[in-house]
Chains A and B, each alone.
Chain A
Amino acid sequence: MDTALLIEKSILVLLLFLVSLGAAAYMTYFERKLAAWIQDRVGPDRAGPFGILQPIADGVKMFLKEDFIPAKADKWLFIIGPGIAMFTALITSAVIPWGPKLHLFGRDITLQVADINIGILYVFGVISIGVYGIMIGGWASNNKYSLYGAIRASSQMISYELAMGVSAITIVLLSGSLSLNDIVTQQSGVWNIVYQPVAFLIFFICALAELNRAPFDLPECESELVGGYHTEYSSMKLGLYLFAEYTSMFVSSAIMSILFFGGYNFPGMSHFSGNTLAILGIAAFAIKIFLFIFVIMWIRWTIPRFRFDQLMHLGWKSLLPLSLINLLVTGLVIAFKNGWF
């Protein structure tokens, strides 16, 4: 391995880390603003012009709060819980192709930390680990509300991962590759959403459930479970949980734009080349991610929470059969096109 590659990847990792955290921080600001606008309010506007320093103020506040560990809590697990949540939220972004190749200092720089050939499997694996952060945190708190939140989170994750996985398989069928880079490059002409609107819908709904976002925010529903799995958490441990949630929202918006909306591809791409193309591609990708984040937040401030049995009903009886039928139809069409009949 040459040193330049190592430096290049290290810089990319550092950049990704900063961008994910920065994006997560400003998503909290944007979410509060959006919530305010939807409710005919102004939102945070005191810290800096238009309140743009609000995330920094929030961060400082989080750090200065008392870091409290309940006496009956399992200390080791209590500390490791938010760590796992944050860790998994951050490492998902390693396989995401952020843009076309950049040409700098006489080198072709791929804007992807690791182009592993099982990108989708990696993403799903990491997301599945993510629930451990919530589960361990809820269990270690030694509090019934936290435990309820943790149990809900795990059952919800298991239920929705199935339908999510099946709808991702349809994309894999379509592109014939598990690598996210291949999936993106194949969408340079027509985006996958054209072929797979149903799969997208299912994937999107399941992603909301996996993110514990409204209307599926049962693990932390304030009105029933005090704070859900993070009831006992305070200070930056709570901050890490909340941060992890926003970071995974950012990452899953990126995944959704890769799988269904062509990643960094944009119409009229063939007119550009080189670094211009790379920068425009990154911009296009960023816009797509932003739009997804916007829609996810918009949904949160529109729709009330599901009841738990409704959640299970939707997951097992509607989305899973629907995604299986979609998979079957896609498979049949592909088989027919390839002349297997």
Chain B
Amino acid sequence: MKPASSVLALALPVILLVGCGSQDDQSNPASPSASPLGLLAPPVEVALDEDGRPVAESLAESQILHRGNAEEPQTLDPHLAEGVPSSILLRDLFEGLATSQPDGRIVPGAAAHWDISRDGLVYTFYLRPDSRWSNGEPLTAADFVWSWQRVVDPQTGASYGRMLAPVKNAEAIFAGELGVEMLGVEALSDSSFQVTLESPTPYFLGLLTHPTTFPVYRPAIEQFGASHVRPGQLVSNGAYVLADWQVRSHIELARNPHYRAADQVIIERVFYYPFEDENTEFNRFRAGDLQWTYRVPSNQFGWLKNNMAESLMVAPWFGTYFFSFNLQRPPFQDNLALRQALNLAVNRDILTNSVTRFGEIPTYNLIPPGLPDYNPFVPEYAEWTQAEREAEARRLYAQAGYSEDNPLTVELRYNSSENHRRIAIAMSAMWKQVLGVRTRLINEEFRVFLQNRTQGRVTEVFRAGWIGDYQDAFTFLELFHSEHGRNDAGYANPSYDRLLEQISAERIPALRRNLLREAERMLLADQVVLPTYIYVSKRLVDPRLQGWAENVMDQHLTRHMYLLKSRTPGEPESPEADSAERGGS
């Protein structure tokens, strides 16, 4: 390294000279408050007033937040957006009829309150009288009517349009059989918005925090078309407005003075940075450029645990990492025993403790825990010891007609990623060890993988995984309806389909809960999937950033957050601490 740095020493002055001549004197968006080695100054103890808000004295002077985001959002049009990076931004920019508390609880948002008819089919939302768009214009029920009609209009191409499927006639409008004006929404007055559902949908309020249900500003869309989302043209109704957007550099949001609760928003400005690489984001956090990361490098767990424990935040998430069997082709077609054998032979504890290592929760069922009104169905063998499971696996393997002399050869397919690769290797080793299965690992670039999964012509057992779209077990179970577009396993069980239809029509919560459990039981009994673990959300957070809480949907609105003063304000980070840390690394 020595010779290279001598060249470097030569190069530096030259670059500085050349660099000074460059044109644009743009202010620096990231303002590095460089604290060497990511050593963050500890915050003061937070004092809260009677409303649970922090008192002004404990707040940092500058309330500018820098958040890492996974990638450049595909779009900031709430109806066209998909993917987590866009939805994080959209929840800051817009507000639906309902919104969520830091802990994930669903509370009134743009609507002050609502009535639900006794049959659970008609929801009447009463908008707040002071609700305004970011340009000061009033937000009315007509805005919601127009917005929701836009979502279901096939011309819009809303990627998450299915979110509104529970609304009356939505499916027929998607299919082009009815006009958008037939959608079951109505503005009873400027401030009351009525929604009629096809069937009672207990999770309907949960959908209202999803960007697809957010209102959009009609005049801007009509005037600017697709570019209505540019800074200066985007009109939104959330706590923040779009101030600047430099593609793949940063997106800057500023406090919206017309927001209904603007006086409670503490963070003045938020910068979102897209990171294509997790190590890059990690370095920026360590350099003090970020207070919040989207993820952490998956292979750095040990180091993080030892060195940045106060910043490392890990919490269960509403998603499951599982594998699917292709039920339309040999060897898994009509071979339940074989599927069961492979399922039982996988030691989940090894996967989570030695491979993923971030506290993921081993699972034998599909639906993550933590739902307000659902207890996942846990199969019997989840309680067995691993030795018992393996013995049963061997018995089933033999029953399926395989043995040491006649081993199964199987293809395990996953999309290229370091984490998926390690899990696939570990699983194939377990199958080999317990059953003698020969596994061929196949990794494919994402879209190739997706196409192969969808077509089901070459897949045998393949990686899947699902993060729930709304807080209900149905978001997982519906994937296996014989006609669902993501039913890549090709599961076609009429009793299962019937069960899903019953769930959609069931009005009594307790009965519905039982039906959901029965559906999950059936799915596991048929061993359509091989669940491995429940995802965790993991990120680095500056300890000075408060006001947020872990929640299972992993939604963290900037408007709840605030930055505390460092414990020693104005003083540079203590030099002893620096050098100690440096020596240690």
Chain B associates with chain A: no
Binding site for A on B (CB under 8 A): none
Chain A residues with CB under 8 Å of chain B are none
